[in-house]
Amino acid sequence: MISCSDFMAEIGNYLEGDLAAEVRVQLENHLAHCQICHVVVDSTRKTLQIVTDTGSFDLPETVSKPITERVMARIREAKR
Ligand SMILES: [Zn+2]
């Protein structure tokens, strides 16, 4: 079983679908049992959607990636 901090370390990759299949399975198993991470994934996904939707164009990878990282950094700070 992975821990919440393991999950948080991979959440950016998880949301971007940038994971090995076996890692994704582990994260999804954790997500199924952990309400905290479930909420974090949910709100992060919504935040990213809002950020992306308010742009009048599709954000290129180079722009959207730092946004993910900024959201992640904020979550990590909130957890401290
Ligand atoms: Zn968790």
Residue 37 Cα to ligand 1 midpoint, Å, equals 4
Half-sphere exposure of 35 (CA within 13 A, CB side): 0
What is the 51 CA–ligand 1 centroid distance (Å)? 25
| Separation of CA 57 and ligand 1 centre (Å) | 34
Q: How far apart are CA 31 and CA 37, in angstroms?
A: 6
Residue where the block lists tokens 């730092």? 66
Query: What is the distance in A from the centroid of ligand 1 to the CA of 60?
Result: 30
- Sequence-separated (6 or more) residues with CB below 8 Å from residue 37: 4, 7, 8, 11, 30, 31
* Stated pTM of the model: 0.62
Which DSSP string do the residues of 35-74 spell out, in sequence order?
HHHHHHHHHHHHHHHHHHHHSSSPPPHHHHHHHHHHHHHH
List pLDDT tens digits, range 19-58. Answer: 999 999 999 999 999 999 999 999 988 888 877 676 645 5
Could you tell me the distance, in angstroms and rounded to a whole number, from the CA of residue 76 to the centre of ligand 1? 13
